[in-house]
Amino acid sequence: MSIALAIGLTLSPVIALQAITFYDGPKIDENGLAIEYNNGVCRVAVKGKDSDGERIFAEFSRRLRDGNLSVSLEGPFMQQFSDADPNANHPVTVVFDTGSSAPSRSGGYDVGGFRESAWGGWGPGEASDATYAALRGKSAFSVEMDGNTYGPFTWTGSGALWTALDDCEADNS
């Protein structure tokens, strides 16, 4: 083997890593929210911190065809759950700044992919509608899951997260 080939093979993983774009979270606007619509789903993301002070993101999504509401969390904290069973049910509880809370029907860890997350969902119908309504007028929330608390997640303007979801639904229905 030539020296040039050996050096090339040694450096190729380093050079390949330079071409990878690492996910740095959604593009947050001046109100502290990132709003997105695609494939019949409205999503609003907001940043917060985990217990180690690391930046994380929470995203509420609402599927327009049936009103199914879910929340997902992304950030470095997911490394500790890399061995989590993706089929196990780990519901979350969203705790609002007013002290009210909304426990999800289901939840879990989406691990092993490029964008790993923890999530909770309320399912179509009454539970999603109640949690969606509970977002109205709020300006912060935290998420509790498996004895851990993430957040608080805050934004500018009381009820702005609910308004962004509602506007997205109105614009795309």
In a domain, 133, yes or no: yes
Q: 1 pLDDT band (50/70/90 cuts)? A: low
Least confident piece of the model among 26-35, 79-88, 121-130 = 26-35
Quick one: pLDDT at residue 27?
A: 72
Quick one: pLDDT at residue 37?
A: 95
In a domain, 15, yes or no: no
Quick one: pLDDT at residue 17?
A: 42
In a domain, 11, yes or no: no
- Asked whether 44 and 31 are in contact (CB, 8 A), the reply is no
| Average pLDDT score over residue span 70-95 | 90
Domain region containing 46: 25-172
